[in-house]
Chains A and B, each alone.
Chain A
Amino acid sequence: MTKLPVIFKRELASYFATPLAYVFILIFLVLSGVFTFYLGGFFESGQASLAPFFNFHPWLYLFLVPAIAMRLWAEERKSGTIELLMTLPITRFDAVTGKFLAAWVFAGLALLLTFPMIITVNYLGEPDNGAIITGYIGSWLLAGAYLAIGSCMSALAKNQVIAFILTVSVCFLFIVSGFPMVLDGFSAWAPQWMIDAVASLSFLSRFDAISKGVIDLRDLLYFLTLIAAWLAATAVVIDLKKAD
């Protein structure tokens, strides 16, 4: 019988056992408000849409999501509880996925608490609520991808700060891989298929499409595959590094 729900429950509760959860949610809500209204020009755009809100999520998440992910495994290794966890009769899959899902649901919870945005934009005008829903789905998938990367980095580093920095760096690479400045570096020497491959790894183009209301199965698969791949890498890294 799978013990995934037990791991999930403990992990989710542990977020709320410390001030971490509340601080994170507060900062997330404040920053997403600041980004939307000041930097995004929500009112100035004169459109009933949450695009100014979603546009900043890849950047907002770049620093906030690694902060949730950094403790996933680094803390277990530092405190030695990983030895307890790994000698209990649970599978690697249950442990890795249970922990990841708890972090993902927590991120989703923080995201749901931005619902006043939906109320505001519906009060002010007549937005495309379908696009708003896909925007939320896209944003949550994006958070999941960041978290899966963070899970692997957290397993790699015993120190949470290093895990944080590694996660930010890798996520940043995934964001900018679609940018001209990166692609230009490839275009001089690399064949076209490689440039396309690098560009297609980017979070931004996928996320933009979903947040504009276009749900393409390939984009969904992209995020889910990315999450699965990084979680598999987490399991491998844990086996290699757990005893260090």
Chain B
Amino acid sequence: MKPSVFFYNLGQGFKGVARNSVMSTASILVLIACMILVGTFFVVIDTIDRNFNAIDDLNVIEVMMDKDYSESQIIEIGEKLSSICNDSPIIDWSSDQWTDDIVIPKHENFKYVSPDEHFELFKDKYQNQPWLDAFTDEHEGDHDEGTHAGITSSMQDNPLRGSFRITFINLSNFDEVVKVRNRIDSITVTDANGTEHDAIATEDIKDYAELYENVMSIKNALYVAGLWLMVIFLIISLFVIMNTIKLGVFARRNEITFMRLCGATKSFIRMPFIVEGVIIGTISAAISFGIEFYLYEYLLKGIVQSATGTSGVAAITAGDFWSDYAILVGIGFLAIGLFAGIVSSSISLKKYLKA
């Protein structure tokens, strides 16, 4: 394309936008609404993702042991659990880390936490709480310091129970976690009479499978809703831009007829209107980008900070969505804008460009 033709078409495109200023503004507003909606949905989905992944112990299944279980019963359960874990592709289970002299396998992804250790963890977690002193004074009297009485509690009054902690290395396939969990549910243990019965009650298996599934279903619902809203708003945007450009085409129909009969090519006739669509799309993308940045940087982060401040728990985090995705958001918005502009202007002109 010759520079003179390019600049002529560019100028005509800007004139078209200015000539139809009211409709152009309407098109820009609808397109902005579409982009903001899409952008916000994806920010929310990303925030859910980030926060879910940040939950402590998300990748841990904790199997609580009954207080009445003997050491041999716990060992029996531990062996069955380790066998299940050994079959799972999502537990890093290197056999060379097993040691023969320890009955219960000790492994960073599979370990037994005794009631004493639970108590220590409990104390660590609530060490600044004033009520802890009274509690520990009451219970530590029976604690035989410096020794660990095997895998059962050394404190007779310790109300906590021992547990097996299974850590998954890969959470991308949460279905596999659910499979492991269901197999754990069916483990049996042999009692003093030599009969087997269910070892672990369902409520004694603590994991995040249910939470994970709930959050995932919310996330998926948001994702689907976001996509549908994007499609609907995009169609509405296309109609509004099409009407805007159709008004311009109608106002210039004599020019277009004359251009055709003079020997102007279809692309030459089409170009100013496509430029008009592109201008509308680009302006919408730029404004949407600014608004989305503001919404994210000030509104979402503000909400997160105030939520964190009032609860005292770092429940949710805004993450670094913007720094990670700013370019992607910009390109995405521009693509939506250009798509809407080019498609709608091409459709609007079709009728006037017959041979």
Chain A bound to chain B? no
Which A positions have Cβ atoms within 8 angstroms of B?
Answer: none
